[in-house]
Amino acid sequence: MTDRPGKAAIVEKPRTERAAEALAAEGVYDPGRRIEAYDADRVALPVTRPPIETDVEAVVDLDLPARERGLADVLRSRGVPADVVEAAPSSWAVIGDVVLVDFGDVSAARTLDRGSRETIGEALLEVHGDADTVLARGGISGTRRDPAGAVVAGSGDTETVHTEHGIEYALDLSETMFSPGNKAERARMGDVVSAGERVFDMFAGIGYFSLPMARAEASVTAAEIDPTAHRRLVENARRNGVAARVEAVLGDCRSVETAADRVLMGYYDAHEYLDSALEAVVSGGVVHLHEATPEALFPGRPIGRLRDAAAATGRTVDVLGARRVKSHSAGTVHGVVDARIE
């Protein structure tokens, strides 16, 4: 393996994940080189040019080692036909020791029969030596957000523990959804909340947002309607030492009576529950409204829905910000609007 000449952005170690995500979003991150320690407290992130939007300590000339062989390299070394190599997914997520991959968005999907998917899955296990199962991502359905998927390679064990920003999420990917694209938003929720705040997480799942907020010493009422996800929520609160700050409620969030300084609505159709959110949030409190929105209608549509719902109860809305969390599908974004309610 040879080093590649280039530049590196220097950041403090605790910021590694978020800085890398920001550099990638800015289009300056170099995925062909590895992240390396720069000194005892800082890391060097490979970049193609100095960033403009991302805050870094410095940009230096540094030869960082090239990344190890990628999926296409492994497939070619195994003599896989060129059309299958070309059709292989270009991105995937490693959740604990499970590789979660979407085979549905590739241009040459006709080549990816069951055997081809298994071949790609076995190659992914070689690329990610610590993983033991490859799971093909399916859709999410119903109000309980049940995932569909199929094991394509490995042991078939979909139960795992995923660590992110120092938080451990225990889950079974065959029965519980986990969105890698929400990673930065999960971290942000831990940053925006203050110690002692009362939070109402209306769609808590296994603790995606509740855990970072509880770790920041907020008091979280976390509602989850699915018994399986609720069981994991309770387990994860204990696992992360925040059980005393998480009240895990099994049931429909609309039946929960609480007063909150901050209401988190992490569900694509959360606008249908705005009446309950506005009933829970105190004057001066903040609502985080998530929505899957056609790109041309963001953030206008969710803001309009929030204003209309607030007006119906005689309250006002001060929009604090709106951000795109990730791409949901072609032409549709997963976005969130932050608003103060008076």
Q: What is the CATH number of the domain that holds 44?
A: 3.30.70
Do 238 and 305 sit in the same domain of this protein?
Answer: yes
- Residue 265 placed within a domain: yes
Do 245 and 119 sit in the same domain of this protein?
Answer: no
pTM of the model: 0.77
The answer to whether the annotation marks 76 as part of a ligand binding site is: no
Q: What is the pLDDT of residue 191?
A: 96
Cα–Cα dist 116/122, whole Å? 10
Using DSSP bridges, classify how beta strands 317-329 and 281-294 pair: parallel, antiparallel or unpaired.
unpaired
Do 224 and 334 sit in the same domain of this protein?
Answer: yes
Write down the residue that tokens 């920003």 correspond to.
Answer: 165
Tell me the CATH number at 268.
3.40.50.150
- Is residue 141 pLDDT above 80, yes or no? no
Do 144 and 210 sit in the same domain of this protein?
Answer: no
- Residue 200 placed within a domain: yes
Do 110 and 184 sit in the same domain of this protein?
Answer: no
Cα–Cα dist 30/7, whole Å? 9
Count of beta carbons in the 10 Å neighbourhood of residue 258: 16
Alpha helical stretches, state H, 138-295 = 183-192, 210-215, 227-239, 274-280
Work out the widest C-alpha separation in the chain, in whole angstroms.
Answer: 67
Cα–Cα dist 230/21, whole Å? 29
Tokens of 14: 């605790």
Do 138 and 270 sit in the same domain of this protein?
Answer: no
Do 129 and 243 sit in the same domain of this protein?
Answer: no
Q: What is the pLDDT of residue 113?
A: 85
- Is residue 109 pLDDT above 60, yes or no? no
| 21, 50, 65 - which closes a domain | 65
Beta bridge partners of 220: 199, 246
- Is residue 3 pLDDT above 60, yes or no? no
- Residue 167 placed within a domain: no
Do 187 and 305 sit in the same domain of this protein?
Answer: yes
Give Cα separations from 279 to 45, 48, 52, 210, 289 (angstroms): 45, 49, 42, 20, 14
Do 323 and 235 sit in the same domain of this protein?
Answer: yes
Would you report the helix, strand and coil content of the chain in percent, each value rounded to 5? Answer: 30, 35, 35
Do 193 and 331 sit in the same domain of this protein?
Answer: yes
Do 194 and 329 sit in the same domain of this protein?
Answer: yes
Cis peptide leading into 147, omega within 30 of 0? no
Do 131 and 255 sit in the same domain of this protein?
Answer: no
The answer to whether the annotation marks 186 as part of a ligand binding site is: yes
| 65, 85, 112 - which closes a domain | 65
The answer to whether the annotation marks 107 as part of a ligand binding site is: no
pLDDT in tens, 308-318: 999 999 999 99
Q: What mean pLDDT comes out for the span 250-277?
A: 97
Question: Which range of residues forms the domain containing residue 271?
Answer: 179-341
In this structure, the chain runs to a length of 342
- Counting the structural domains of the chain, the total is 3
Cα–Cα dist 213/201, whole Å? 10
